[in-house]
Amino acid sequence: MSPFGSIHARMHGTVRRWAIALAVLLAASPAAADETPVELTILRTVNLPWQGPEAIVVATAPVEELVMTVSVDGGPPSVHLLDALGAGERGSITWSAPEGAHDCTVSVRGKRGGRSFELHTEAKVHVVPALELKLGEADVDIRGRSLRLHASQPASVVELTLFDIDGGVLHRAETEVEGEALSRTLRWPELHGDVARVAVRVFSTQDTWADASWSPIEIEVSHPPILFDPKSAPDRDALDAVYAAARKQVDAHPGVPGLALYVVGVGPQGNGKALARKAKHVARYLEKRGKLGVPVRHAVATGDGEDRLGEVHTILSSQVPAEAHWTPSR
């Protein structure tokens, strides 16, 4: 597996199960609810960008001609007309507010059976900024069994899950971080299997959470060997075999960020220039054939003590392999 990878990150928001109490709905007093056919509540904690402040009215009996009014931080009220509600049905209004705490007043007016009613409630609404995670390719070290994670808010809990190529869980751990501003290293023990996906979930101290995932891919493409021959280029059948094998692997890994095909000439140092030409020839052929859907790069990796003349290897990887300096085929 490559020690590098690319990140595909997705942002989510909800209230953590143990923090439900912090996002309860503020209901109108029982006395008021007894005198009116509706219950009025305000969501007290909202998480950007997926939520907005919300007021909810639930009918305890059929009502008509509902009007809801909201005022934020003493500003001018905004008026919203709602549809009539049957018993047990609900209506709601939402509005925009910047990050921070806001004093909100909501009123609902309506009629039931010709009788008018009115209900008011107030709450301090906390608008929580979105939690953002940063997990770059330089932050993940699969061989060293560690990653460096960065978050935009102090965190309370970090969950790390490692998956194998079939989606099975290789490792799962939860770390309490006690409200630290996150820029910390997570480590895991030696595992019986290769890591195919890293998933991290961070819960902030403000009762929101975010996910990040990363997939390292490094596959040696299996194809008939292209052996070193300084006097001739690889024949067409050999090149077609490499293309077919590469195309099969690319098609088997759709949507992997940063995926590219790397062609490397491997052999003794004395054959370096010829190996570089051969790797470039193979890479340009693959690029010319087209429809691979990934970039193609080439390089040469030489060393002393090689007892073979050399050959061409092909690697499908989500990040640059470490063997050499890679050059685009074009």
Domains and CATH numbers, the chain: 6-14+131-215 (2.60.40.1220), 36-128 (2.60.40.2550), 218-328 (3.30.1330.60)
Q: How high is the pLDDT of residue 177?
A: 83
What pLDDT band is residue 85 in, cutting at 50, 70 and 90? very high
Q: How high is the pLDDT of residue 70?
A: 94
Ranges 80-84, 130-134, 136-140, 173-177: which has the least confidence: 136-140
Residues 6+ apart with CB under 8 A from 29: none
Q: How high is the pLDDT of residue 72?
A: 94
Percentage above 90 pLDDT, the chain = 28
Q: How high is the pLDDT of residue 234?
A: 67
Q: How high is the pLDDT of residue 76?
A: 93
Query: Which of 47-61, 68-82, 166-180, 263-277 is most confident?
Result: 68-82
Task: Kindly report, residue by residue over 200-239, the tens digit of the pLDDT.
Answer: 999 888 778 888 887 777 788 888 877 656 566 667 888 8
Task: Say whether pLDDT at 299 is over 50.
Answer: yes
* Separation CA 79–CA 82 (nearest Å): 10
Sheet holding 25-27, edge to edge: 25-27, 38-43, 54-59, 90-94
Mean pLDDT of the chain: 79
Task: State mean pLDDT over 99-107.
Answer: 93
Q: How high is the pLDDT of residue 229?
A: 65
Task: State mean pLDDT over 284-302.
Answer: 87
What pLDDT band is residue 330 in, cutting at 50, 70 and 90? low
Q: How high is the pLDDT of residue 120?
A: 92
Task: Say whether pLDDT at 249 is over 70.
Answer: yes
Task: State mean pLDDT over 257-274.
Answer: 81
Q: How high is the pLDDT of residue 159?
A: 93
Task: State mean pLDDT over 305-325.
Answer: 70
Task: State mean pLDDT over 278-299.
Answer: 89
Q: How high is the pLDDT of residue 233?
A: 64
**Higher confidence at residue 253 or residue 326?**
253
Q: How high is the pLDDT of residue 329?
A: 63
Ranges 32-41, 127-136, 303-312: which has the least confidence: 303-312
Q: How high is the pLDDT of residue 257?
A: 64
| Residue 65: closest CA among 8, 115, 1, 13 | 115
Query: What are 299's two structure tokens?
Result: 């390089």
pTM of the model: 0.47
Query: Which of 113-127, 152-166, 185-199 is most confident?
Result: 113-127
